[in-house]
Amino acid sequence: MTERIVLAYSGGLDTSVAIGWIGEATGAEVIAVAVDVGQGGESLETIRQRALGCGAVEAYVADASDEFANEYCVPTLKANALYQGHYPLVSAISRPVIVKHLVKAAREFGATTVAHGCTGKGNDQVRFEVGIQTLGPDLKCIAPVRDLALTRDKAIAFAEEKGLPIETTKKNPYSIDQNVWGRAVETGYLEDIWNAPTKDIYDYTATPEFPPAPDEVTISFQAGVPVAIDGVKVTPLQAIKELNRRAGAQGVGRIDVVEDRLVGIKSREIYEAPGAMALITAHKHLEDITVEREQARFKATVGQRWAELVYDGQWFSPLKRSLDAFIEDTQKYVSGDIRMVLHGGQAIVNGRRSETSLYDFDLATYDTGDTFDQSQAKGFIELWGMSAKVASGRDIRVAGK
């Protein structure tokens, strides 16, 4: 039986050419796998037909938009995950769901190898291959661009020679990856980190310099999951899409950052994540009134480590699974409403309410009705500072000898 290779297929030039390129280099049959994670653009059927037209013996296509929102975006939201405090893991969280379908297709079609279109310089090669090794330890991995010397020039020449049904003459200077959680742009003139982004880079967000009238929105959560917007029930996917539209119209969620890649280099990235950033902002403010202080402090540390693990391709790791359990436990009481104003590139919270809130008006108020016993503060301070006071006395005593 002829060997079969499953290829992560986007429908673009590189992966379309990779179908025939892999076939010629290895003698294997190629099964193209396209996964919709809300990236928009062409239909799955159009992509499927293109894959077959480029020489794939089979084309596996999956609409994973709801799956991606429910099982990947929601955990990211619950963790308030921002890699290095900025990046909402747009690409990083899409790779595990694609890996899941790649391994599923490999089992279904009897493939022994999985291929992806990553270079040897980026993070995604790690995310794909570590995920594949974890879910399908018997499967081999190859990367045509990295392992078979498939450059863009060679891809264009190959496509023209074979008459492949794909546009080969237009060359976008940027590398773009997008899904419903956000959009990532890199390379081209952005590699000079002094250059400011130009307007043509953006697609999910309008310019914040000349915004429309302020847009006030109320987001309702149940156990950390967005369940309604302005009182209208929504699924997580619908919530992300609606806030992509409304926050995007106000220029919310533009991120320009130099981040530390897993392979050891720094890389300049432009992100657009209007829905993700609005939701994370709202969720964090709701946690501020529903999560106990020490739990919240530790959760911030857990969320940072969670983001690092996911960025580094460890979605399926034991530590990630353990951190998931902690984060999920913290979400028990994260239910209620957050009101925020979207305007001029900002999402500003101006109202909070929850039946499980830890905010006690009678304890917090300075007016009549205050139930806080201020007489207890003096003794509390004495005990709280006792350790430092004793240590300071020791330091003075020793220094005087």
Percentage of residues of the chain with pLDDT beyond 70 = 98
Would you say the C-alpha torsion 279, 301, 100, 50 has a positive or negative sign?
positive
- Element spanning 347, H or E: strand 346-353
124 part of the active site = yes
Could you give the CA distance from residue 331 to residue 291 in angstroms, rounded to a whole number? Answer: 8
pLDDT in tens, 62-76: 999 999 999 999 999
Statement: residue 170 has pLDDT above 60: no
Pairing of strands 4-8, 113-115: parallel
- Element spanning 229, H or E: strand 225-229
pLDDT in tens, 250-276: 999 999 999 999 989 999 999 999 999
Q: Where are the domains of the chain?
A: 4-171, 176-291+333-353, 365-399
- Element spanning 221, H or E: strand 215-222
Going by pLDDT thresholds of 50, 70 and 90, the confidence category of residue 80 is: very high
User: What would the two tokens of residue 177 be?
Assistant: 């990856």
Among candidate residues 48, 94, 124, 312, the one labeled active-site is 124
| Alpha helices, H only, 81-231 | 94-109, 124-135, 144-147, 152-162
Residue that wins the pLDDT comparison between 117 and 87: 87
pLDDT at site 365: 83
15 is in an annotated binding site: yes
119 is in an annotated binding site: yes
Q: Phi first, then psi: give them for residue 381, nearest 5 degrees.
A: -65, -40
Could you give the CA distance from residue 20 to residue 26 in angstroms, rounded to a whole number? Answer: 10
CATH class of 4-171: alpha beta
CB burial class (10 A; 0-12, 13-18, 19+) of residue 68?
buried
11 is in an annotated binding site: yes
260 is in an annotated binding site: no
CB burial class (10 A; 0-12, 13-18, 19+) of residue 44?
middle
Distance, first Cα to last Cα, the chain: 87
pLDDT at site 274: 98
pLDDT at site 117: 86
Long-range contacts of 167-170 (CB under 8 A, 24+ apart): 167/13, 168/13
pLDDT at site 25: 86
259 is in an annotated binding site: yes
Q: Tokens 């929105």 identify what position?
A: 217
CB–CB of 29/111 below 8 Å? no
Residues in contact with 210: Cβ distance below 8 Å, sequence separation at least 6, in sequence order: none
Statement: residue 280 has pLDDT above 70: yes
87 is in an annotated binding site: yes
pLDDT in tens, 213-227: 999 999 999 999 999
CB burial class (10 A; 0-12, 13-18, 19+) of residue 72?
buried
Q: Order the strands of the 182-186 sheet from edge to edge.
A: 175-179, 182-186, 266-272, 254-260
DSSP tag of 139:
-
User: What would the two tokens of residue 339 be?
Assistant: 């009101």
Could you give the CA distance from residue 342 to residue 364 in angstroms, rounded to a whole number? Answer: 28
Amino acid at 44: L
Could you give the CA distance from residue 401 to residue 63 in angstroms, rounded to a whole number? Answer: 76
Statement: residue 54 has pLDDT above 70: yes
Among candidate residues 14, 254, 335, 354, the one labeled active-site is 14
β-bridge mates for residue 269, sequence order: 257
Least confident of 143-157, 182-196, 240-254, 385-399: 143-157
Among candidate residues 63, 66, 175, 337, the one labeled active-site is 175
95 part of the active site = yes
Average pLDDT, the chain: 93
CB–CB of 62/20 below 8 Å? no
pLDDT at site 83: 98
pLDDT at site 173: 64
**Up-side HSE of residue 141: CA atoms within 13 Å toward CB?**
24
Q: What is the CATH number of domain 176-291+333-353?
A: 3.90.1260.10
pLDDT in tens, 283-329: 999 999 999 999 999 999 999 999 999 999 999 999 999 999 999 99
pLDDT at site 167: 65
Mean local confidence (pLDDT), 276-285: 98
CATH class of 365-399: mainly alpha
pLDDT at site 172: 61
pLDDT at site 149: 76
Residues in contact with 23: Cβ distance below 8 Å, sequence separation at least 6, in sequence order: 29, 30, 55
394 part of the active site = no
Give the count of beta carbons closer than 10 Å to the beta carbon of residue 366. Answer: 7
204 is in an annotated binding site: no
Residues in contact with 77: Cβ distance below 8 Å, sequence separation at least 6, in sequence order: 224, 225, 226, 276, 279, 280, 283
Cα-Cα-Cα-Cα torsion 222, 224, 229, 234, nearest 10 degrees, comes to: -70
pLDDT in tens, 340-366: 999 999 999 999 999 999 998 888 888
CB–CB of 332/213 below 8 Å? no
Mean local confidence (pLDDT), 158-182: 77
Among candidate residues 4, 50, 95, 268, the one labeled active-site is 95
Quick check: do 4-171 and 176-291+333-353 share a fold?
no
Statement: residue 169 has pLDDT above 60: no
Statement: residue 171 has pLDDT above 70: no
Residues in contact with 290: Cβ distance below 8 Å, sequence separation at least 6, in sequence order: 333, 334, 335, 336, 354, 356, 357, 358
pLDDT in tens, 12-43: 888 888 898 888 889 999 999 999 999 988 88
